[in-house]
């Protein structure tokens, strides 16, 4: 039996953001899990369970690229969309090139995050 559920894992150190994204995605038909601590998100990650990871880049303990790199070692098929301020993306440019060494699909949403954009991006990524 194939699992048709679309589960999104949301990780951001700001509880207000995870709450708002959780509500927006669930209203659009997704199931969600959210964490405000990237280490806890990694500890609770289950291979093959998620259609999409929504990761903030700038978090304490572990940034979103580091978290994605560790999760990718557990599940190399998982899809990801990062959200961050544009200045933070520039700050992490060298790490971004390490995470995405080849050209291809790279998904980023600029903060402040708009619910409609997150839902549109989640639908697009999980359909492909």
Q: What's phi and psi for 56, nearest 5 deg?
A: -75, 145
Question: Regarding predicted confidence, which is higher, 101 or 34?
Answer: 34
Tokens describing residue 25? 């995605």
Domain ranges of the chain: 7-127
Angle (nearest 5°) at CA 82 between 87 and 66: 90
pTM of the complete model: 0.87
CATH of domain 7-127: 3.40.50.2300
pLDDT in tens, 62-109: 999 999 999 999 999 999 999 887 666 666 666 666 666 565 566 888
């Amino acid at each position: 039996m194939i699992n048709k559920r679309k589960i999104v894992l949301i990780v951001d150190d700001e509880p207000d953001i995870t709450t708002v994204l959780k509500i927006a995605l669930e209203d659009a038909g997704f199931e969600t899990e959210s964490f405000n601590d990237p280490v806890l998100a990694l500890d609770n990650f289950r291979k093959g369970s998620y259609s999409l990871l929504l990761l903030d880049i700038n978090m304490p303990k572990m940034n979103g690229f580091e978290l994605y790199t560790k999760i990718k070692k557990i599940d190399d098929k998982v899809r990801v969309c990062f959200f961050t301020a544009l200045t933070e993306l520039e700050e992490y440019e060298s790490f971004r090139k390490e995470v995405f060494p080849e050209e291809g699909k790279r998904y980023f949403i600029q903060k402040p995050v708009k619910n409609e954009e997150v839902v549109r991006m989640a639908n697009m990524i999980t359909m492909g």
